[in-house]
Amino acid sequence: MGFSTALQGRAAHEALIVRQDAELRLMETMKRSIQMKAKCDKEYAIGLIAVAQQGLKIDRADEMQGSLITKSWRSYMDELDQQAKQFKLNAEQLEVICDKLAHLSQDKRKARKAYQEEHAKIAARLNHLTDEVVRKKSEYQKHLEGYKALRTRFEEHYIKAPGRSGRKLDDVRDKYQKACRKLHLTHNEYVLSITEAVEVEKDFRTVLLPGLLEHQQSVQESFILLWRNILLEAVQYSDLTADKFKEIQKRIDTEISGINPTEEYSEFTEKHKTSPTTPLLFQFDETLIEDIPGKLTASTLTVDNLTVDWLRTRQLELEAAVKDCQERQLKIIEHVNGGSPVANGSIISNGSSASNGIQSNKDSQIRQSKDLNALRCQEKQKQKLVDMIKCALNEVGCEELPSGCDDHLSLEQNFIEHGFNNEQQLSLSTNRPLYEEEWFHGVLPREEVVRLLNNDGDFLVRETIRNEESQIVLSVCWNGHKHFIVQTTGDGHFRFEGPPFPSIQELIMHQYHSELPVTVKSGAILRRPVCRERWELSNDDVVLLEKIGRGNFGDVYKAKLKSTKQDVAVKTCRMTLPDEQKRKFLQEGRILKQYDHPNIVKLIGICVQKQPIMIVMELVPGGSLLNYLRKNSNSLTTRQQMGMCRDAAAGMRYLESKNCIHRDLAARNCLVDFEHSVKISDFGMSREEEEYIVSDGMKQIPVKWTAPEALNFGKYTTLCDVWSYGILMWEIFSKGDTPYSGMSNSRARERIDTGYRMPTPENTPPEMYRLMLKCWAADVDSRPHFDEIYNVVDALILRLDNSH
């Protein structure tokens, strides 16, 4: 069944048009995908070449002299280089295929247009005649009614005065005759129009439309044939099982198969023969305790009120470890004697051995024997420690435990005696609230806390919300980062694993002074309190005055600082957001705190002592640049607009020098200060790196402001900001219009990918529009950097000023 018989209906015609549109969209999708594939293959080829070059940088190659592994490795790297060249060649062929698809798409668009025009043409003739028949019928009805009325009138006059003549009767007769003539003429026209319509409809249905559809089917099928051939060609250059790749792989396999383990180390062993190793001597350094009178003894455990709990806990842990070693030894013995294989950290199961094809039964037995010996050694080592602790505890017995400290010193005196009166000394006052302590960081999220703790022993205290309940947490850097929730006793005291204290401050002081681990398992010791950074402000110092906007994380307020009476802008973060979102919120503050430029909004500080978390910034009186452009559209001059572009370029030039990618540059994210000065703001999406690859999807991306390579590949560089700057220039000169007005995001993206660029806004200087087009170059490397952009705009302004 073909087009000519099956697709004559109107619905079928519309469906065919829709199908053609869908095929064109599919072609565009395929073209973009193949372009991405070519790009990926090129990048992969570059990566492979780098791998091969790196792999051939063998340090001290003379030390690997005679190594079959080294020889095979060099061959492997050389073949990788060949693979890279083949991938690059395939990528270039894929780019040729993309051009073929583009031409095919253009031809298909022309064919679709020709079909629509021809269909409309032959349908128009039928539609015209159909309308003509209806019109003739309507005329027929009208003249028939007139004829009937005049005939009735004529008959009435004739019957009333038979055989008479007169002016009135003549007049009636003339009108009747004219109506009769008009009716007959209309009748003939109606008959002819019907006859013509019948013929045209018949030709339309049996000749013209079937012929058009048959031709269109042929055209469609020829396109499908070309399309298929292009896809076959694309697949050919994506086939990793092709002979060229097989040959490379075969050469690699041959080289590696030539490695003989028994010959690998013969030359090396002969060259480096040595005597057996001398035992290492471990001894307690007695100089460590020379200045400590009588409490600590070399190579002897100390049991007193400070250590007894720790020793007992340690004994239990070691006994459990001994038992675990014994159980694992039994499992290995059972397995060797025919029991079922046990999959654990030290045994390779039969399934694993069979699956990788490397471990033979002999290798497995050797490995199990080695694991068994290792476990026996571990058991002996840990049992030695258990016996030592038991012996020390038994010597004390049930007697009263000796004190580990000098009892005559108070807690405060102990701190002073041990020299904690330095710039990081912990305060002994428990009268003031916890949030006033310099080492208390409020509700600072865990990710921010980790960034502050850099050396083992660094610590701070913070607050977290779990299950809508506030908890105080001690965060310590110790072999990584550890976080301990402060436990509350029934009588309102605070503790970790040691004794309770009436306040959190005293608990922290105890841990700091005693140098005992916070918990036995962690071993974490407090050595240096990390105080709040200078830009961490107190929430109580900020008075919110009025809401002036809303951001992604919460509301924005005009506020005042109590300490300086300064008006500021404050971004707040909703309390209900998860820690991950709060971290993203604070990221803007972390980036801004290190920047100082007149065209970058200034950070004053962040407030994390309690909820809500806030970012405090300078208040820029003009508000959003977008709103400013729209409100002042009638009064803005070209000189002022160019000045705004220069300010934005100056700010972005500064960010580029700091390797900061803004990622959301737009008029809505710029602020206007006095004298139309522009400041870059809203760094919530910014990243401090030369290249940033999106790994969490492309949600909430401002599509109409984002460069194509970022949308297509998730790859951001400062040249993506240059594209966004071009859109910002367009917004400034259009006085706040919406880019790609009337287009959806997806439609705008499609048009941009096919080369469309927005026309110049009214009254835009030609040089500024040319700069916009440079910023929108499809080739990333063809776009100017912000230093060049700034110089161009500055020179244009200078020229404008001189001309006046």
Q: What amino acid positions are annotated as catalytic residues? A: 664
What's the rounded Cα separation, in Å, for the pair 481 and 450? 7
Distances in Å between the Cα of 343 and the Cα atoms of 331, 348, 349, 361 are: 10, 7, 6, 16
The 10 Å Cβ neighbour count of residue 267 is: 12
The residue type of 803 is S
What's the rounded Cα separation, in Å, for the pair 474 and 508? 9
Residues β-bridged to residue 482: 476
3-state helix, strand and coil shares in percent for the chain, rounded to the nearest 5? 55, 10, 30
- Name the phi and psi angles at 290, rounded to 5: -60, -35
Q: Is 552 annotated as a binding residue?
A: yes
Q: Is 548 annotated as a binding residue?
A: yes
CB 512 within 8 A of CB 414: no
**For residues 54, 56, 58 and 63, what is the CA-based torsion angle, rounded to 10 degrees?**
160
Q: Is 593 annotated as a binding residue?
A: no
CA atoms within 13 A on the CB side of 94: 25
- Both tokens assigned to 497: 């694993």
Q: Is 554 annotated as a binding residue?
A: yes
Closest CA to 685 of 732, 654, 727, 721: 721
Give the 3-state secondary structure of 481-535: EEEEECEECCCCCEECCCCCECCHHHHHHHHHHHCCCCCCCCCCCCCEECCCCCC
Q: Is 555 annotated as a binding residue?
A: yes
With 0-12 / 13-18 / 19 or more C-beta atoms within 10 angstroms meaning exposed / middle / buried, residue 29 is exposed
Residues β-bridged to residue 488: 494
The 10 Å Cβ neighbour count of residue 27 is: 20
Contacts for 628 with CB less than 8 Å, ≥ 6 apart:
622, 672
What's the rounded Cα separation, in Å, for the pair 571 and 612? 10
Look up residue 400 and give its DSSP letter. Answer: P
**For residues 607, 612, 615 and 619, what is the CA-based torsion angle, rounded to 10 degrees?**
-110
> What is the per-residue burial (b if ≥16 Cβ within 10 Å, else e) of 71-86?
ebbbbbbbbbbbbbeb
Most distant CA pair in the chain, distance: 164
Contacts for 486 with CB less than 8 Å, ≥ 6 apart:
471, 472, 473, 474, 494, 495, 496, 504, 507
What's the rounded Cα separation, in Å, for the pair 555 and 569? 11
Residues β-bridged to residue 440: 461
What's the rounded Cα separation, in Å, for the pair 452 and 640? 44
Closest CA to 729 of 619, 721, 787: 721
Q: Tell me the Ramachandran region of residue 544: left when phi exceeds 0, alpha when psi lies from -120 to 50, beta otherwise.
A: beta
Distances in Å between the Cα of 32 and the Cα atoms of 37, 102, 743, 756 are: 9, 10, 20, 16
The residue type of 638 is T
3-state class of 273 per DSSP? coil
Q: Is 553 annotated as a binding residue?
A: yes
Q: Is 551 annotated as a binding residue?
A: yes
Look up residue 738 and give its DSSP letter. Answer: P
With 0-12 / 13-18 / 19 or more C-beta atoms within 10 angstroms meaning exposed / middle / buried, residue 64 is middle
Measured in Å, how far apart are the chain's first and last C-alpha atoms?
A: 76
With 0-12 / 13-18 / 19 or more C-beta atoms within 10 angstroms meaning exposed / middle / buried, residue 392 is middle
Query: Which residues contribute to the annotated binding site for ATP?
Result: 548-556, 571
